[in-house]
Amino acid sequence: MSDSTQPYRVLARKYRPRNFRELIGQDAMVQTLGNAIKRGRLAHAFLMTGVRGVGKTSTARLIAKALNCIGPDGQGGPTIDPCGLCDPCVAIAEGRHIDVIEMDAASHTGVDDVREIIEAVRYAAVSARYKVYIIDEVHMLSKNAFNALLKTLEEPPEHVKFLFATTEVNKVPVTVLSRCQRFDLRRISAEKLTAHFTHVTDAEGVRAEPAALSLIAQAAEGSARDGLSILDQAIAHADLDQGEPLVTAAQVRDMLGLSDRGTVRRVLGLLLAGDAPALLATVREQHDLGVEPLALMRGLLEIVHAITVTKAGRGGDDPAQSAEEREALADWAAGLSFAALHRLWQLLLKGHDEVANAVLPLEACEMALLRAVHAATLPDPAELARLLRDGGSVMPPSASATAPVAAPADPSASPSTRQTMSAPPSFADLVTLLAKSGAALLANSLHDEAGLIRYAPPELVIATRRPIDLKDLTTRLNAATGMAWAVSLGEGPGEPTLWDQEKAAEDSARQAILSTPIVSAAMAAFPQAELLPQGDNEEWSASA
């Protein structure tokens, strides 16, 4: 712990990187700078851009140290690994070096401020190797100020280097960008932030649960400064255990107004099940516990995205997910179609925007979730067209074309409980439903290659001329019908394929027409005539 006689420094300032090794997640930029210094190919102006808290200003100061370091013996030159011990390194780190001038463009926006720089660059550095100008938030300069700086920026004296930092590079004129060597600093990954926060808590003598640090890293959204500020708050919020703060995941959730993942899964399960009363009760319960409605909507969006990428084959790469959560995501991914997931995403995304701008956030959240529940009970366009064509009801009593999978209210229970729907009356209807659910290629394979042996929903036994992926077929049938199908290959050839049956019916109809007296006489009188199908229903007509 730090000396109590010293004034407290917040973690975001205390743990600023002091050298390039401590700069997190910017390896490509460090390598480029290192090679440029070794080869003597230093640009006269650098522009660092990126979101807040990724190290733009810190990088500018490190570059200033790298250019002016003289080593502990005073004989060193520019280096990517400044010593931190020589007078220039110490003075720059403390912000008091006379040749390293920092300017905040947010408060110095005019031409007069830039004119002072233009006049000062003519004079050599007092004690450093290079005179360095660090201009933070450079996009705040006025148009006239940028124009005044252009000539000096393009051809500065050899002893001057310009270092710019900005969060909104799109506001910087192209004429300025073309005169700078640009570095786009990346967002820092949650894994690297978690490791960094672990190092900080160890150095501070604070105990913290790994799950708590992971939550803070996710809340930081790629910003080390934001994450350290949240960690600072979490340490102050933590209870003292044996004289030392203990940061727990539950305390971080309470502090940030987050809902735990298990609760989000439970809310999604209730939404998919169409249980509106239980859904509203859970939302109110979370609100009473301090969970913001916007955070709940965001959590639902995150889990729907996780289900979708799991279905797309990229699941299981999040180290923050528990085994239970991975199992739930895999089960939902197997039971929900891409169309249903995209539809649910759009409903929740619209609801998130409404909650963010609502005068009554809780009420807006409830209305958005109810809209998703009731929209889920409506058939999708393909199913609606089929129902209208067959004369059936367009409002299924309880089934959901959007949400055939209903997770139980208890997040510890298996989310494989499914709502059942009536199976298609025949194998041909099943193939048609499969094609309309987005599995056209698989449906075509069944139509052309599969002979039916047994059709007793939810059991299907077929014989195929060519291999068919039975696992994929089972998954598609489960998603399309809401039933747990058992699909297998049987012995024997089975019935003729649907394609063979259609061809046989077509040939039979053709022969029946040719055998009629009138057509027979016509074909005899006109030997070159042909019998051709006509119209969408393939009615036959004679054509010479």
Phi, psi for 247 (deg, rounded to 5)? -90, 120
> Are 26-184 and 190-256 equal in CATH topology?
no
- Condensed to tens digits (0 to 9), the pLDDT of residues 321-374 reads 666 777 888 888 888 888 888 889 999 999 999 999 999 999 999 999 999 888
- Condensed to tens digits (0 to 9), the pLDDT of residues 197-246 reads 999 998 888 888 888 888 888 888 888 888 899 898 888 888 776 667 78
pLDDT score at 402: 40
What is the identity of the amino acid at 86?
C
pLDDT score at 397: 42
- Condensed to tens digits (0 to 9), the pLDDT of residues 489-538 reads 887 778 888 888 888 888 887 787 777 877 777 777 777 777 666 544 44
Can you list the residues of the chain whose pLDDT is less than 70? 1-6, 241-243, 257-260, 315-323, 376-422, 531-544
Tell me whether the omega of the peptide bond preceding residue 415 falls within 30 degrees of 0, making it cis. no
- The class of domain 261-390 in CATH terms is mainly alpha
Q: What SS3 string covers 83-124? A: CCCCHHHHHHHCCCCCCEEEEECCCCCCHHHHHHHHHHCCCC
- Among residues 278, 251, 276, 247, which one has the least CA distance to residue 263? 278
pLDDT score at 408: 37
> What are the helix and strand counts (H, E) for the chain?
23, 13
CATH number of 190-256: 1.10.8.60
Helix-helix angle 210-220:224-237, to 10 degrees: 140
CATH entry, 26-184, from 2.40.50.100, 3.40.50.300, 3.30.420.10, 3.10.450.50: 3.40.50.300
Q: Are 24 and 224 in contact (CB under 8 A)?
A: yes
pLDDT score at 376: 61
Q: Are 305 and 317 in contact (CB under 8 A)?
A: no
pLDDT score at 343: 87
Neighbours of 470 (CB within 10 A): 14
Q: Are 46 and 164 in contact (CB under 8 A)?
A: yes
**Which DSSP state fits 69?**
-
Query: Residue 144: which residues within 8 A CB-CB, separation 6 or more?
Result: 110, 111
Sorted by where each begins, the domain ranges of the chain are 26-184, 190-256, 261-390, 427-489, 498-543
pLDDT score at 300: 92
- Cα-atom radius of gyration of the chain, to the nearest Å? 34
